[in-house]
Amino acid sequence: MRVATERLVLREFVEDDWRTVYAIESQPEVVRYQTNDVYDEAAAREYVQGILVSAREVPRLVFDFAITLDGVMIGRTGMKRGDDPRMASLWFEVMPELQGKGYATEAARALLGYAFEEVKLHRVYGDCDPRNPSSARVMEKVGMRREAHLVQNVFIKGEWCDSLMFAMLASEWRR
Ligand SMILES: CC(C)(COP(=O)(O)OP(=O)(O)OC[C@H]1O[C@@H](n2cnc3c(N)ncnc32)[C@H](O)[C@@H]1OP(=O)(O)O)[C@@H](O)C(=O)NCCC(=O)NCCS
């Protein structure tokens, strides 16, 4: 997979990307509302190895793409198909120094295009902690519908956390 947007290219991971994954996900503010803890180098290598393996699975259930700007990886976005493979949950992250420039929105929009037009999914959904407004804002900006505010539905980093749920259907994407 390779998708070009106005400023970015989304591409498949390569082994060496663990260095950027480490640079981004060793920062506590990046993983604050994610289930994983900060990565050390070994965890970043292991994560990328896992991505490379899952990318070869047939049918493919996990799609994780490097977001690149001028050929340099600045983040990642991806999705995972559920028990019903016509649906998937998405995610995105951008290195802190480059946040606030619309890159996550541009990448997430490209991912949705890929999900609906290439993979032919029916529904893509995403969730975020209400204390993570930039994530909610990205999902709003790409046109996902806010569907729910779940209360203390997930236990992350020692506390029960709420989730805002967003989703888009293929029919909504086509509109
Ligand atoms: C969420 C994340 C990917 C956003 O990346 P980004 O490239 O900065 O996103 P964008 O620039 O496309 O959009 C961010 C929006 O959030 C808004 N925003 C940022 N901080 C905000 C805050 N504290 N309150 C309200 N809105 C905020 C920005 O103003 C912007 O909206 P606007 O265009 O209407 O002004 C990035 O913050 C990140 O990597 N966070 C850590 C990982 C994470 O939490 N990922 C989401 C879980 S899937």
Residue 99 CA to ligand 1 centre (angstroms): 7
Question: What DSSP letter does each residue of 111-133 carry, written as one string?
Answer: HHHIIIIIS--SEEEEEE-TT-H
pLDDT at site 12: 98
pLDDT at site 167: 98
Q: Please tell me the residue having the least CA distance from ligand 1 atom 39.
A: 93
Which atom of ligand 1 sits closest to the CA of residue 75?
39
Q: Please tell me the residue having the least CA distance from ligand 1 atom 14.
A: 134
Residue 142 CA to ligand 1 centre (angstroms): 12
What distances in angstroms separate CA 92 from CA 31, 59, 128, 159, one per listed residue? 11, 22, 11, 23
pLDDT single digits (tens) 161-170: 999 999 999 9
Residue 114 CA to ligand 1 centre (angstroms): 21
d(CA 171, CA 126): 17
Q: Please tell me the residue having the least CA distance from ligand 1 atom 45.
A: 93
Confidence of residue 124 (pLDDT cuts 50, 70, 90): very high
pLDDT single digits (tens) 39-51: 999 999 999 999 9
Strand partners of residue 80: 62, 89
Which atom of ligand 1 sits closest to the CA of residue 33?
44
Q: Work out the percent of the chain whose per-residue pLDDT is above 70.
A: 100
Beta strand 123-128 with 87-94 is: parallel
Q: Which CATH class is domain 2-174?
A: alpha beta
pLDDT single digits (tens) 24-41: 999 999 999 999 999 999
Residues within a 6 A CB radius of ligand 1: 30, 33, 91-94, 99-105, 128, 132-135, 137-138
